[in-house]
Amino acid sequence: MKLTKRLVLTTTALAAVTAGTLMSATAGQAATPQPARTGVDAPPALKVPDGNRLTGVFSAEGVQTYTCTDGTWKLLEPAATLWAKNDRSRRTVALHSRGPVWVSTVDGSAVNAAAVATSPKDGTIPELLLQSTATRGTGIFAGVSYIQRLDTRGGVAPTTACTGTDQTSVRYSATYTFYKPAK
């Protein structure tokens, strides 16, 4: 029953965030993200190592889902949609979920990653530097080496106590930047 409830919560959260616009996109319909030519502002702790180049900057909105564990809220999973930073239509180009993993809705490529550095921010989830642990496919996420979660807003776990197997989802937004090894 827990799994069913979690799936319903995650699906509902994604549906609410995308306001009914989450559709499968074909490569011909979706905006192809263009490699960024300049770096991004990030705290020193989150700087990507030399030898990597910025290949994508995406805005994201979604939820951080928390579950009650021993009377306190613990992160269960994120669920977010990503679109090219400057795309005013906000056409979904990727989904972000537990793993953490990012999957392209354009070409099916994916990247899994693990946090290697964090930079706390007051009143919001921390900014992160993540290192790729695996990639799949030949599309936009093929060969990704590092990911930054920047410009975070919201997503903080409730401060109230919880009981049983309660779950709650808290809205958040962020900018995700993707890097690949420089050739």
pLDDT of the residue at 156: 98
What is the per-residue pLDDT across 52-66, written as a single tens digit (0 to 9) for each?
999 999 999 999 999
Distance of CA 61 to the CA centre of its chain: 8
Q: Are 130 and 100 in contact (CB under 8 A)?
A: yes
Per DSSP, what are the bridge partners of residue 112? Answer: 101, 134
Q: What is the pTM of this model?
A: 0.80
SS3 85: coil
What is the per-residue pLDDT across 69-91, written as a single tens digit (0 to 9) for each?
999 999 999 999 999 988 999 99
Q: Are strands 110-121 and 167-181 parallel, antiparallel or unpaired?
A: unpaired
Please report which helix (H) or strand (E) contains residue 6, including its range: helix 2-18
**144 vs 133: CA distance, rounded Å:** 9
